[in-house]
Amino acid sequence: MTIHREGTRTIIYTAIFLLALNLLTSKLLACDFCWITISLWVISFGLWLFIVSFFRIPNRNLTVNDQLVVSPCDGKVVVIEEIFDEEYFKDKRLQVSIFMSPANVHVNRNPISGEVLYSQYHKGKYLVAWNPKSSTENERHSVVIKKGNHPILVKQIAGALAKRIVNYLHVGQSVKQTDELGFIKFGSRVDLLLPVGTAINVSLNEVVKGGVSVIATL
């Protein structure tokens, strides 16, 4: 397991803040080993470990296959439905949405290899990520990757806790399946917009792993 580069500052700053808070509390209470300070140290260490775990990148055997669409993130499948895409395709698409809890791995990966045709950031609200309106009203970043005749839109969506979306792709770039697409800091959601008629390999409420689980067959 490694720690994602997006977490370096957050982990260091959190450690400094918690250390200063605990030292100040011990000094103000004039007790180094009373139950209050001990409890605060334990809680602070647990919080710091959670922050570290949030930015983890576990070692995995990733799925690479041009005929498959792999999951762009860890989480639970919360939506599988046909929708009309207003942003890019301007037609009907099959939407698969994956909800990422704060406990999930939050690195996002390319679901297919191909060329980036579109990359656009949108400001927006911070509705809870499982709210249907979050796909069109929340802060989000959309990219379209095309492999052959199969363009796919990947939408990173901020949730109630997520305040920063990071996306590494730009138009004209050639990307490889399972390479890093971006990162979302704290609970969020990722939508996949697939061609209508695509064979879906997952079901509602199924738990998937980014870069490993197969979402669909092209």
Q: Which residues are catalytic?
A: 188
Rounded to whole angstroms, the Cα distance separating 97 from 75 reads 9
Alpha-carbon torsion (31, 35, 39, 45), positive or negative: positive
Rounded to whole angstroms, the Cα distance separating 107 from 195 reads 25
Measured distance between the N- and C-terminal CA atoms of the chain, rounded to whole angstroms: 31
The answer to whether the beta carbons of residues 74 and 188 sit under 8 Å apart is: no
Rounded to whole angstroms, the Cα distance separating 106 from 89 reads 27
